Structure 1
Amino acid sequence: MVQSQIDHSVTQEAQQKVVQPSIASPEVSAQPNPTVVSEILEMIRWKRVMQVFFDGVLAFLSFAGAFLIRFDGHLNSHFFHQLLIFAPAIVSLRLLSNWGFGTYRRLWRYTGLTEVMELGCSVLTVTTILTIARALGFMSVEGSQLSYGIIAIDAGLCFLLLCASRVLRRLQTEHNQRRHWRQPVRKRALVVGAGDAGQMVLRELAQRADLGVDVVGMVDDDPMKLKKRIGSITVFGTTKELRN
């Protein structure tokens, strides 16, 4: 029974949260400071430059790692020369593809499934181009073609490194928010609805530690969802029981 597991104060706080999720202060001026705006834009430009540079480093590391894995860590002068010849072109292709798929218009601290799919499409596009070029004989150095195995290994490593860099950035941001906004008194709340919208609310509250809200449970009118868990949150009962 919902009443036996959640007290009346939790219910009131949950209803308040549903009715008034956010209220903007009317005293805040809607006109931004031009100096502040220019500083923010400049900061965004530098962040994008650093993102491109960091991705370039990761693309080179993945390509070099593919050679080391393919040849068990032993590179003779011929394959080392092959690595140095192809690396600039492949790194440039990776960066251009990322740019084309819009990955540098994304904020890394909000990385999700959409960003991962964009990275996957970017990596797959470059890998397809390299495979076609290899099949047509354009990936040859001193009469030796670039191995298909290296192309495949490079694709896997590059995808993993690019995704990992963004996921780590998101985890770091969430950790800093929780540490900075740790409050002695936090509000407890129920989330009404255990569907897609409810899951979005859970994710948002988990990322916004500054709101000071701890979700203690969920309610949903679908009997199939009762007592089920979404992440670490349990669906306790229905909205009818909540009103009672």
Structure 2
Amino acid sequence: MSQRRAVILLYLVAIIAGIIAVYVRQMRIGVTVVTIAGFALTILFIGLLLGKVKVYDESEHPGGTLIDVIEGFTHRRRIFENLLDMGMIVLAYYVAYLIRWDGDIPPDQRKIFAATVPLMIGIELFAFLAGGVYRGIWRYAGIDELVTIAKSTVLGSGIAGMAILSLYRFNGPSRGVMILNGILIFLMVAASRVSFRFLGTLLVGRRKANPDARPVLIYGAGDGGAMLIGELLNNPAHQYDPVGFIDDDRTKTGKLLRGYQIFHSRELPDLIEEHGVTEVLISSLKVGEERIEQFKSLGIEFRRMRIHID
């Protein structure tokens, strides 16, 4: 991500902070607390995001105050990840009370919240740790990570709920709050992991091609093609500049895969002329001799993607 994008993002955060400051006086106290807490967690989340995304100056200058701060932040990101989760646990617990009591929490319930929130934090964080939530890499968060978060949340919320209800001898704490709390924790934590992946891609944008990179087309717009272009984008050492995909399946023509257009194989001659393509990378195992002969007749090189396990 360029330094310019990072600065724009920080300006947007400042504008949102100003808007909140203007309207916060008109909000009810409960909504005010949630808004400010949510904004604080958003700031922490953005800090984590910038800490894991490489930030560079437009002129490739390695220095700069913003860059130094962000790069220094990466070394402490695990602590801030835990702080983010702690904040979301507290926020989810408080919002559960607001929902249960229609935005007006009774004084006795406020006391219960204040007395039990440390217990809730401790048990939930322990469940996350034991359940493997912190072993996942946010950048690659997917279905498996969401399942892990769901299991850990159910475990933590269940134990915490029973502990709190038992502490008060099932008289005082609302069971509805405990159920809502578990749902909200899962939604918040899952959203933070998944949005981290998508926002990271959005902020980084398409990688600028190396001037020496060769324009290349990928044959096969399937799982293999998605894996191949991911490797090309994440590893500039390959010296390839992807133009797009070509595929024999007409139903895929015109669609996008990882942000790159899928063309029909019959468009290959025009693509070669328009983009100066001299090489095709074959990601599919299902490529007929007819297609190979087409590559040869057009005078372009072709290479097959292979996965070797020694």
- Does TM, normalized by the shorter one, top 0.5? yes
Alignment partner, residue 173 of structure 2: 146
Equivalent of residue 160 in structure 1, options 162, 187, 197: 187
Residues 191-210 of structure 1 aligned to structure 2 (within 5 Å): 191-192=219-220, 194=222, 196-201=223-228, 204=230, 208=234
Alignment-mate amino acid for residue 116 of structure 2? F
Alignment partner, residue 112 of structure 2: 82
Q: Deviations over 1:216-239 (max 9, x none)?
A: 22547xxxxx22339724484662
Equivalent of residue 190 in structure 1, options 214, 218, 223: 218
- Is the 1:111–1:166 contact (alpha carbons within 8 Å) kept by the matching residues of 2? yes
- Is the 1:111–1:170 contact (alpha carbons within 8 Å) kept by the matching residues of 2? yes
For residues 144 and 128 of structure 2, the distance between their equivalents in structure 1, rounded to whole angstroms, comes to 13
- % identity of equivalent residues: 20
Alignment partner, residue 123 of structure 1: 153
Q: Which runs of 5+ in 2 are unaligned?
A: 1-71, 266-285, 295-310
- Is the 1:94–1:126 contact (alpha carbons within 8 Å) kept by the matching residues of 2? yes
- Is the 1:205–1:213 contact (alpha carbons within 8 Å) kept by the matching residues of 2? no
Alignment-mate amino acid for residue 152 of structure 1? I
- Is the 1:219–1:239 contact (alpha carbons within 8 Å) kept by the matching residues of 2? no
Alignment-mate amino acid for residue 242 of structure 1? R
Alignment partner, residue 99 of structure 2: 69
Q: 1:193 to 1:164 in 2, by over 3 A?
A: closer
Residues 204-243 of structure 1 aligned to structure 2 (within 5 Å): 204=230, 208=234, 213-214=241-242, 216-219=244-247, 226-229=249-252, 232-233=256-257, 234=262, 236=264, 239-240=287-288, 241-243=290-292
Q: 1:209 to 1:71 in 2, by over 3 A?
A: farther
- Is the 1:174–1:207 contact (alpha carbons within 8 Å) kept by the matching residues of 2? no
Q: Deviations over 1:169-197 (max 9, x none)?
A: 22332234326x33487734214362x44
- Is the 2:210–2:241 contact (alpha carbons within 8 Å) kept by the matching residues of 1? no
- Is the 2:86–2:125 contact (alpha carbons within 8 Å) kept by the matching residues of 1? yes
149-158 or 160-169: which moved more?
Answer: 160-169
Q: 1:78 to 1:164 in 2, by over 3 A?
A: same
Say which SS state the counterpart of residue 118 (structure 1) adopts. helix
For residues 155 and 186 of structure 2, the distance between their equivalents in structure 1, rounded to whole angstroms, comes to 12
For the aligned residues, what is the CA RMSD? 3.3
Say which SS state the counterpart of residue 144 (structure 1) adopts. coil
- Is the 1:193–1:219 contact (alpha carbons within 8 Å) kept by the matching residues of 2? yes
For residues 133 and 287 of structure 2, the distance between their equivalents in structure 1, rounded to whole angstroms, comes to 41
Q: Alpha-carbon deviation of 1:106?
A: 2.6
Q: Deviations over 1:85-139 (max 9, x none)?
A: 11111111111111112222333222222221211111111133245447xx505
Equivalent of residue 140 in structure 2, options 86, 110, 114: 110
- Is the 1:178–1:209 contact (alpha carbons within 8 Å) kept by the matching residues of 2? no
Equivalent of residue 124 in structure 2, options 94, 102, 118: 94
Q: 1:188 to 1:162 in 2, by over 3 A?
A: same
Q: Which runs of 5+ in 1 are unaligned?
A: 1-41, 221-225
For residues 149 and 218 of structure 1, the distance between their equivalents in structure 2, rounded to whole angstroms, comes to 54
Q: Alpha-carbon deviation of 1:205?
A: 5.3
- Is the 2:141–2:193 contact (alpha carbons within 8 Å) kept by the matching residues of 1? yes
- Is the 2:221–2:245 contact (alpha carbons within 8 Å) kept by the matching residues of 1? no
- Is the 1:191–1:215 contact (alpha carbons within 8 Å) kept by the matching residues of 2? no
TM-score normalised per structure 1: 0.65
Q: 1:214 to 1:149 in 2, by over 3 A?
A: farther
